[in-house]
């Protein structure tokens, strides 16, 4: 997103060198201090820069900070504490046209690590770890100013995937039970990607206990990213249930369905329902480590009289879980 050019003496010279990063801002006026998050958010808003461009600019200065981390800082979900993060703050001051120490002096002592405060950061993955090489997903998340993924604790996810008599996946029914780890959680983003060779994007329908917000489609790769607005903003520790269906675009015979996890889930259930006229010859579960293409676990599954197979995964950790099958 942002231009990447070499910098002199390792400094981040973006405030006055507009050729280096179009849209960089002049020095900001000082005002009431407020909190670190408030000051950072105001400076980002005034700059007109996206978080992805800011991330790219920081990388030029030699500091790698994810968009998710920047979003946490901006919203007050966490604050910079490590040496590299504090260095990133000084670069942000220069990038956003703030006085030297304009942000760093607003940092208080390290935040407490209580039950709820620690929850968003424990065992979570960055977006690039969940979808490696999928830059368009990162771009869409940045465009929609994705909320930090850890602000919703996933208590339960239930996927029911349906395969028709033509051996094609045509419908996914999804149900999630979630709990807020911070106050004021009002939305989340969901990602669905069609099989290779399918025409068009999956379409999210029949949303219950939430409503569709903004939707971004990338038909060339069969991608849809949708914003779900919860029925009500959640306070710290509040829970809710939401459901929706995904209509899957037509393609060739389907042989796999899987889900990628960026955060731990207390219970994940996946059911694949086959049309009785088209039951596979073989079916198995697979597990993969985050970002890996090689299975770390396989387990043969029984297809019962109901022409379905299922996986139960308690305490599911970040990574991938799915079911694959062979038709003959």
- What would the pLDDT profile of 132-151 be if each residue is shown by its tens digit? 667 777 888 888 888 887 88
Q: Yes or no: say if 222 and 202 are a contact pair by the CB < 8 Å rule.
A: yes
Which part of the chain has CATH 2.60.40? 127-326
For domain 8-111, the CATH class is mainly alpha
Other Cβ atoms less than 10 A from the Cβ of 275: the count is 15
**pLDDT value of residue 34:** 74
pLDDT band at 130 (very low <50, low <70, confident <90, very high): low
Fold (topology level) of 127-326: Immunoglobulin-like (2.60.40)
What is the Cα 210 distance to its own chain's centre? 18
Exposure string of 308-327, with b = 16+ CB inside 10 Å and e = fewer, is bbbbebeebebbbbbbbbee
**pLDDT value of residue 160:** 97
pTM over 0.75? The answer is: no
Q: Yes or no: say if 97 and 42 are a contact pair by the CB < 8 Å rule.
A: no
**CA count, 13 A, side-chain hemisphere, 17:** 15
Calculate mean pLDDT across residues 44-61.
88
174-194 pLDDT per residue, tens: 999 999 988 899 999 999 988
Question: Tokens in use for 57?
Answer: 């600019």
**CA count, 13 A, side-chain hemisphere, 80:** 26
Q: Which residues contact 84 (CB under 8 A, 6 or more apart)?
A: 63
**pLDDT value of residue 59:** 84
Return the ∠ at Cα 270 (arms to 269 and 276), rounded to 5°: 135
1-50 pLDDT per residue, tens: 343 333 333 334 343 333 343 344 444 444 445 788 888 988 998 888 88
Across 81-90, 198-207, 237-246, least confident range: 81-90
Intra-chain end-to-end CA distance of the chain, in Å: 46
| Burial classification of residue 229, based on how many CB atoms lie within 10 Å of its CB (0-12 exposed, 13-18 middle, 19 or more buried) | middle
64-77 pLDDT per residue, tens: 888 778 887 888 77
**Residue 114 reports pLDDT greater than 50:** no
**Residue 199 reports pLDDT greater than 60:** yes
| pLDDT mean across residues, the chain | 81
- Report the percent of the chain where pLDDT is more than 90: 41
Q: Mapping DSSP to helix (H, G, I), strand (E, B) and coil, where does residue 41 land?
A: helix
Return the ∠ at Cα 48 (arms to 47 and 52), rounded to 5°: 100
76: alpha, beta or left, given left = phi > 0 and alpha = psi -120 to 50? left
Which part of the chain has CATH 1.10.260? 8-111
């Amino acid at each position: 997103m942002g231009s990447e050019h070499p910098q002199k003496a390792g400094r981040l010279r973006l405030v006055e060198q507009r050729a280096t990063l179009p849209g960089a801002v002049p020095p900001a006026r000082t005002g009431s201090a407020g909190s670190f998050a408030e000051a950072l958010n105001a400076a980002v808003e005034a700059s007109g820069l996206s978080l992805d461009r800011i991330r790219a600019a920081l990388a030029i200065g030699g500091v790698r900070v994810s968009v998710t981390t920047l979003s946490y800082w901006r919203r007050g979900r966490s604050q910079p504490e490590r040496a590299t993060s504090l260095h990133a703050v000084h670069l942000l001051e220069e990038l956003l046209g703030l006085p030297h120490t304009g942000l760093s002096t607003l940092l208080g002592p390290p935040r407490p690590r209580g039950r709820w405060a620690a929850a968003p950061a424990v065992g979570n993955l960055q977006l690039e770890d969940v979808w490696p090489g999928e830059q368009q997903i990162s771009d869409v998340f940045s465009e929609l100013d994705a909320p930090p993924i850890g602000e919703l604790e996933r208590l339960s996810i239930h996927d029911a995937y349906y395969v028709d008599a033509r051996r094609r996946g045509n419908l996914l029914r999804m149900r999630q039970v979630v709990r807020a780890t911070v106050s004021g959680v009002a939305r989340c983003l969901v990602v669905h990607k069609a099989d290779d060779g399918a025409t068009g994007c999956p379409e999210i329908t029949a949303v219950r206990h939430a409503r569709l917000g903004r939707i971004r489609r990338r038909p060339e790769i069969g991608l849809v990213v949708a914003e779900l607005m919860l029925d009500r903003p959640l306070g710290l520790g509040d829970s809710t249930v939401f459901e929706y269906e995904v209509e899957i675009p037509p393609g060739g015979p389907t042989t796999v369905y899987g889900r990628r996890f960026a955060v731990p889930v207390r219970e994940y259930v996946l059911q694949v329902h086959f049309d009785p006229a088209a039951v596979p010859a073989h079916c198995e579960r697979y597990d993969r480590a985050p970002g890996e293409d090689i299975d770390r676990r396989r387990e043969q599954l029984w297809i019962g009289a109901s022409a379905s197979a299922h996986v139960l995964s308690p305490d599911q950790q970040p990574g991938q879980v799915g079911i694959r099958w062979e038709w003959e």
